[in-house]
């Protein structure tokens, strides 16, 4: 790891001028990494503001690189999102590198480089502008409740596509977190049960229930799940909380 820092003559708020300062600090880092036969894998930016508060952020290029133009562009996207309360008085860059030969031997072995590089660079720009959690993948979990059966993890490596033959389009279950509480269901519904939007029309078909009960070790849960088809063809995934005696919209199938 290598580091470069500077103290500014006056509090700087202009992003264009801060970008120039970052470029000046980046040059000795690139030279040092090149002398070590390394490429940059991550770049941490530390800012000290005029009110003595600090801001820290980090960018990670799609693949290890020494391309100054690419790194400055990612820095600009990330710095645009920083909530600077006042001007910057101190600026530091901390770079981490990896041996180029090691990276070439281990990363994406036998993969078509051109298309993957373009995809990773696009994802890197999304992360730089919207934060590291903007690109995630769902991981299934062995849990009891539907909303706990998956978690979101940052996407680090994109698997190569494996095209298959024609198949029916899969149904996608969209899960709402937290579930949306529905109005109480009246005993008499002369116009039908309106679950979500009036434009959907009343419920015409209900499939279920599938009962989920348990969770005594944390919070007692007792739910009866149903699939409800509205007049316009929407399939909504709802449940009746038997403990609270309330209806909730857990999600829908698309």
For the stretch 210-253, pLDDT in tens is 888 776 555 678 889 999 888 888 899 999 998 888 889 998 88
Q: What is the pLDDT of residue 161?
A: 62
pTM of the entire predicted model: 0.49
- Residue ranges with strand state E in 65-195: 88-99, 136-140, 150-154, 173-181
CA nearest neighbour of 5 among 43, 51, 45: 45
Residues counted in the chain:
254
237, with CB counted inside 10 A (0-12, 13-18, 19+), is buried
Strand partners, 175: 251
108, with CB counted inside 10 A (0-12, 13-18, 19+), is middle
Choose between 134 and 52: higher pLDDT. 52
What are 79-101's pLDDT values in tens digits? 788 778 888 999 999 999 888 76
Q: What is the pLDDT of residue 166?
A: 56
Sheet with 235-241, edge to edge strand ranges: 173-181, 246-253, 235-241, 221-230, 203-214
Residues whose CB falls within 8 Å of the CB of residue 68, separated by 6 or more in sequence, listed in order? 23, 26, 27, 30
The C-alpha atoms of residue 18 and residue 78 are separated, in whole angstroms, by 12
In percent, the amount of the chain with pLDDT more than 90 equals 7
pLDDT at 162 over 50: yes
Structure confidence at residue 110 as a pLDDT band (50, 70, 90): very low
Q: What is the pLDDT of residue 103?
A: 47
Structure confidence at residue 68 as a pLDDT band (50, 70, 90): confident
Q: What is the pLDDT of residue 93?
A: 92
What are 186-197's pLDDT values in tens digits? 666 555 777 777
Q: What is the pLDDT of residue 174?
A: 84
Phi-psi region of 66 (alpha: psi -120 to 50; beta: other; left: phi over 0): alpha
Q: What is the pLDDT of residue 234?
A: 86
């Amino acid at each position: 790891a290598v580091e470069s820092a500077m103290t500014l003559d006056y509090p700087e708020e202009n992003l264009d001028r801060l970008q120039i300062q970052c470029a000046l600090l980046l040059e000795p880092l690139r030279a040092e990494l090149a002398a070590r036969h390394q490429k940059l894998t991550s770049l941490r930016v530390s800012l000290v503001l005029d009110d003595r508060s600090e801001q820290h952020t980090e960018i990670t290029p799609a693949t290890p690189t020494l391309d100054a133009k690419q790194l400055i562009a990612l820095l600009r996207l990330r710095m645009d999102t920083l909530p600077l309360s006042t001007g910057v008085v101190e600026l530091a860059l901390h770079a981490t590198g990896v041996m180029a030969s090691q990276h070439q031997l281990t990363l994406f072995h036998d993969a078509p480089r051109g298309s993957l590089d373009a995809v990773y660079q696009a994802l890197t720009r999304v992360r730089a502008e919207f934060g590291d959690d903007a690109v995630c993948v769902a991981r299934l979990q062995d849990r009891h409740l539907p909303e706990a059966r998956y978690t979101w993890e940052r996407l680090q490596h994109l698997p190569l596509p494996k095209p298959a033959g024609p198949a029916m389009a899969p149904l996608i279950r969209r899960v709402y977190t937290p579930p949306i509480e529905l109005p109480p269901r009246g005993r008499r519904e002369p116009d039908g049960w309106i679950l979500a939007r009036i434009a959907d029309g009343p419920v015409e078909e209900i499939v279920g229930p599938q009962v989920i009960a348990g969770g005594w070790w944390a919070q007692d849960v007792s739910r009866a799940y149903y699939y409800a088809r509205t007049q316009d063809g929407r399939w909504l995934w709802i449940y009746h909380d038997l403990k609270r005696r309330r209806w909730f919209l857990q999600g829908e199938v698309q």
